[in-house]
Structure 1
Amino acid sequence: MTVICYADDTMVAIWGEKLESTLRTAAVAADLMVTRVRLLGLRVALSKCEVIVFGKRGWKPPEGASIPIGGERVQVKPYIKYLGITMDPRWDFREHFKQLAPRIVGAASAMGRLLPNVGGPSARCRKLYAGVARSMALYGAPIWADKLSRANVAQLRRPQRVVAQLRRPQRVVANRIARAYVTVSLEDWMDRKYGQLTYRMTQVMTGHGCFGHYLHTIGREPSPVCHECGEPDDTAQHTLAECERWATERVALAVALGDRDLTLHCIVSKMLGSERCWDAMSCFCETVMSQKETAEREREARAEALPCRRGRRGRRRAQYARRLP
């Protein structure tokens, strides 16, 4: 017999060759432990007692197996939880990850409400929030690390993605950490020493934002035409380098970059090489995209607007609208 005590949790481990004799020994050992605890002036929550039997692969205890503890019958369960780790007879921890995933999803969803794309915390703060979900997922890792399977890895990764993106039925999914959309990978930017990746800058970089081309792709615009200059296809590159409406902002950006080449590849190279270029691009994106977003909301609010263009009455959208001057 082995007794393991930690804080207010006590585990009694019994081993034997036959189930009947092992259960009898476990019942005696558990009663002795309960008596010792009561002699110390403490009480044992018998309703929280759990019993599990570890056997050979494929073996299961008979249905209804139980032991008496403190005058109550405690059923043998297919798994038990000890110090936050759910253990099962096969030691594959599948049940542990199955129960852990909803908890991480709940915590990540709550944190997602603190991370609006427009405004909200800085990139460092967002990274800190992401670490909370990661810490929850990795709790007890030294215990179950050797038992990771593809199914377990998938169950771990799925809830961690919730803190980075807020899923809603039939709506665009936005990344709450990088403030990009879920199809975007920005790993090349990870090592930079300056600059905050804003929501509007990410829209221009990825093309997933308030552009006629993208809005038409997701069904929010009847056509990809540019409402500012009439160009048939309003892409991010068109807004960045061609649209006449933003000529003044474009000149200021080109002067700061020291280059008339406003292709995305060139701009990114300049941004990662100079903080001044990064700030210039950020200023361009904030100025241009904020105006494009305002114009888009005005078109959505018109009485004659098509059903696909009408604004969605989400809680965040309403809060943002109330803050507008």
Structure 2
Amino acid sequence: MTTVALAVTNGMLHFELSLACEVFGSDLTHLVDPWYEFSLCGPAAVRIDRFSLEPDHGLDHLARADTVIVPGWADVDRDPPAELIDAVRAAHRAGARVASLCTGAFVLAAAGLLDGKRATTHWAHTDELARRHPLVTVDPDVLYVDNGSVLTSAGKAAAMDLCLHLVRLDHGSAVANKIARRLVVAPHRDGGQSQFVTTPVPAPGNHPLADLFPWALQRLDEPLTVEDLARRARMSSRHLGRHFKSVTGTTPLQWLLTQRIRRAQELLETTGDTVDVIATATGMGTATTLRRHFARTVGVPPDAYRRTFRARTAPTPVTA
């Protein structure tokens, strides 16, 4: 996936549009060369809130892109422009991977790309999306949904999650994590994570788990338990579980497993270590355990994952 086209028309949400421009339109050839060839596609002049944009190409150019991104659509009470719907549909028919950010899902649904598929959008508009497009299975609880050639995200921050997910698919976890660090955002939140936070998340650096996360990440090779985490955080296991749910949206053990899988992905991409060595380095214990969890989480076994990314990243020995 080397070319990315951002579909822009009057009435788009500038936040989601800006996120896509920042991730795919920045010059990041110091990370991956070549980086994406990025373009804005729309009518002759586009008004986004208080800003004006001059697209690089017309909407018909979307059909030439490998990936088409549709930002949030501001006025969900009215149908998106017919020319935008037709252009997105034509791009998908031409083989493009099409992703919507936030309420951009209404454009994909109007184009028929979500019929018979699971999709999401900002939680405040999931009921309306389901009402207007009954053939779409709308999931109001997740950050994003990946159907392969069609992807949708929830609102605002979840749009960044989906953008990083696309980079991860194309260039691997190591590159996506470097971009996340550059943007000072979470390197990876699973698409299935809830977009709801029932308890307000304390300010960064001020919540009880602020010191626990880096401590645990430095010890992924150890057989950490919930009791170990609770002892480090100086709280009961039950209290720890409540804090984890409010801050991460998941349980301590699931969070640990996710971090171990992420670390395994990086080692598979950037080293020549055997699966047995990586299983030990990530606290999985045995290659069998790593293969089972990795395949269930990522969708492919470790060896297949490594073959996919080996040509992109030259393996180097890891040092203890």
Higher RCO by CA contacts (8 Å cutoff, separation 6 or greater): 2
Give the shorter-chain TM-score range. under 0.3
Q: Which has the higher helix share?
A: 1
Q: TM-score, normalised by structure 2?
A: 0.26
Q: Max radius of gyration: which structure?
A: 1
